[in-house]
């Protein structure tokens, strides 16, 4: 690639020299033209020289564009090589940590997470369904570290299945009584659940410092674990999730995405009920 760029640079330098020769000839002709009749024999050879220089200095646009075209082809090949090498190194780093990788760039998957790669911005977004839960630089090492950190936090903040479904039932029940409906919006249940998730200090002093976060993706992950473990009953009632319609997925308030497996697949749910 460097050699081809240098060819264009050399051509420009040659043209620059010829243009300087052309400028010198034109200045001399301009002086002689003040008395053209007396200087006609001096002017004639200079005109012939001028014509020669003009022909020589005509920029070879076609040839240069052909070189540029080959450069573009080289760039595309290098981009393919870079992407292949990136995927290979990322897969190797994930395998070292007992994690998998599948998908096609710029969208890859590892376990519950979607990896959105932006080669131009040189960054990566880590997604949990439609939720962006992290980001990092375009580096296999950093991506693996970020995934491990996110996965570790999800597992650390998750509660035992029986405790979770009991609190889920309580949150649903509170919302159901308030709304006078059996089928309750899933985000309303999340709000109630987040309050039940708080420790005694929050109720004594409901300040930001005492509030323990419980984000959407943690809620979705805990529901996923329930289903994986086959836990679905609380207080003699069975948990049911109602999938979203297409229109219901336009606003985040109307649904929550819950994984169905560890290949990045999942379902949007809008309502929860126990019956």
* Per-position DSSP letters for 144-204, written without gaps between them: HHHHHHHHHHHHHHPPPHHHHHHHHHHHHHHHHHHHT-SSEEHHHHHHHHHHHT--HHHHH
Share of the chain above pLDDT 70, in %: 91
Is the entire prediction scored with pTM above 0.75? Answer: yes
pLDDT digits (tens, 9 = 90+) for 33-52: 787 666 766 777 777 776 67
Contact present, 50 and 29 (Cβ < 8 Å): yes
- Evaluate if residue 153 carries a pLDDT over 80: yes
Is residue 126 pLDDT above 80, yes or no? yes
70: which 2 tokens? 């080959």
Residue extents of the structural domains in the chain: 2-59, 69-156, 158-274
More confident residue, 156 or 6: 156
Q: What is the pLDDT of residue 100?
A: 94
User: Which of the residue ranges 45-59, 143-157, 165-179, 223-237 would you say has the lowest mean pLDDT?
Assistant: 45-59
Q: Residue 273: beta bridge partners? A: 240
At 93 the pLDDT is: 95
pLDDT at 184 over 90: yes
Share the mean pLDDT of the chain: 88
| Cα separation, 243 vs 233, whole angstroms | 19
Dig out the tokens for 183 from the structure. Answer: 């089928």
**From residue 34, how far is each of 26, 30, 37, 38, 179 by CA, in Å?**
13, 7, 9, 9, 100
């Amino acid at each position: 690639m460097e050699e081809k760029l240098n060819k264009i640079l050399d051509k420009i330098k040659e043209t620059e020299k010829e243009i300087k020769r052309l400028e010198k000839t034109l200045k001399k002709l301009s002086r002689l033209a003040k008395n053209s009749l007396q200087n006609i024999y001096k002017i004639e050879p200079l005109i012939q020289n001028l014509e020669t220089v003009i022909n020589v200095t005509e920029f070879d646009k076609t040839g240069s564009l052909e070189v540029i075209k080959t450069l573009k082809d080289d760039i595309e090949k290098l981009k393919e090589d870079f992407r292949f090498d990136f995927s290979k190194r990322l897969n190797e780093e994930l395998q070292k940590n007992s994690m998998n990788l599948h998908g096609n760039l710029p969208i890859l998957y590892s376990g519950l997470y979607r990896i959105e790669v932006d080669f131009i911005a040189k960054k990566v977004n880590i997604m949990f369904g439609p939720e962006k839960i992290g980001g990092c630089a375009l580096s296999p090492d950093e991506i693996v570290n970020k995934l491990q950190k996110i996965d570790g936090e999800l597992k650390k903040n998750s509660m035992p299945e029986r405790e979770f479904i009991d609190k889920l039932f309580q949150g649903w029940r509170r919302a159901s009584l308030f709304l006078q409906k059996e089928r309750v919006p899933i985000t309303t249940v999340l709000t109630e659940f987040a309050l039940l998730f708080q420790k005694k200090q929050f109720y004594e002093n409901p300040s930001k410092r005492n509030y323990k976060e419980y984000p959407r993706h943690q809620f979705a992950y805990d529901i996923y674990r329930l289903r994986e473990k086959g836990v679905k009953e609380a207080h003699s009632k069975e948990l049911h999730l109602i999938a979203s319609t297409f229109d219901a997925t336009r606003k985040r308030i109307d649904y929550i995405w819950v994984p169905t497996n560890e290949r990045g697949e999942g379902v949007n749910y809008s309502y929860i009920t126990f019956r």
